Amino acid sequence: MVVPEPRHVRPGSPIIEPFAGTIVAVPATDNRNGNPTTVYTDGACAGNPGPGGWAWAVSPEGAPSGSGGERHSTNQRMEIFAAFDAMRSLPGPLIIVSDSTYVVNCFNKKWYVNWQRNGWKNSQKQPVANQDLWKPMVALYDPTVHTFEWVKGHSGNRMNDLVDQLAVAASKGPFDDVGDAAEPEQPSTLF
């Protein structure tokens, strides 16, 4: 499956249209001075599997932000996609905050190192789920630029609540037909 481009940008976010039909979020903050940008990410799924949505938003104001979804997805897939899209959309040092221990631990506990060493098999010798997202995300990951932090979901954190709302809204569509025909990989185990 080809990893889709961002489909939605939150109204009010600065946007540019470099090519017809392509919407790209433009960071409202300039972090080229070395100060990291903090971005919150979340995924949601109505049923698991079912229609899914992902979202990211820059703290503290919630802009810029991005969101989108897939007609047939899983919650894990949407959590991964949210963090991946934030990484590829925002320049400079990032603190990526997620309520997904799966996403955070992949990088903080370096699970991806063993996955790569084992030919993208997990500890149970099964193929790692969502490799079509993990592989480009791991290729993009730079530990000197990207830091992952965990936040407890649904705990009253304003930014986590915002990206949750955006992801839930994105899970309701509309969906592009591109990339929606294939069923998502069913995860065998978490790691």
pLDDT of residue 31: 58
Give how many domains the chain has, as a whole number: 1
Q: Is residue 84 part of a domain?
A: yes
Q: Is residue 51 part of a domain?
A: yes
Q: Is residue 105 part of a domain?
A: yes
CB neighbour burial string for 144-174, b if at least 16 within 10 angstroms, e if fewer: eebebeebeeeeebebbebbbebbbbbbeee
How far is it, in rounded angstroms, from Cα 173 to Cα 115?
33
Closest CA to 86 of 157, 36, 120, 127: 36
- 3-class secondary-structure state, position 73: strand
Give this prediction's pTM.
Answer: 0.79
Q: How confident is the model at residue 33 (pLDDT cuts 50, 70, 90)?
A: low
pLDDT of residue 141: 98
Residues assigned a catalytic role: 42-43, 79, 99, 154, 164
CATH number of the domain residue 102 falls in: 3.30.420.10
Q: Is residue 146 part of a domain?
A: yes
How far is it, in rounded angstroms, from Cα 151 to Cα 20?
37
Q: Is residue 28 part of a domain?
A: yes
What pLDDT, in 10s, does the model give residues 65-86?
999 999 999 999 999 999 999 9
Q: Is residue 4 part of a domain?
A: no
Mean pLDDT, rounded, for 1-19: 38
Lowest mean pLDDT among 27-31, 62-66, 142-146: 27-31
Which one-letter amino acid corresponds to residue 118?
A: N
Return the structure tokens found at 80. 């991964």
Q: Is residue 187 part of a domain?
A: no
Helix (H) or strand (E) segment spanning residue 138: helix 131-140
Q: What are phi and psi of 42, to 5 degrees?
A: -160, 155
Q: Is residue 152 part of a domain?
A: yes
pLDDT of residue 75: 96
Per the structure, the complete domain to which residue 137 belongs is given by 15-170
Mean pLDDT of the chain: 82
Alpha-carbon distances of 183 from 67, 159, 179, 180, rounded to whole Å: 20, 31, 9, 8
Closest CA to 35 of 88, 91, 87, 86: 91
Q: How confident is the model at residue 20 (pLDDT cuts 50, 70, 90)?
A: very low
148, pLDDT greater than 70:
yes
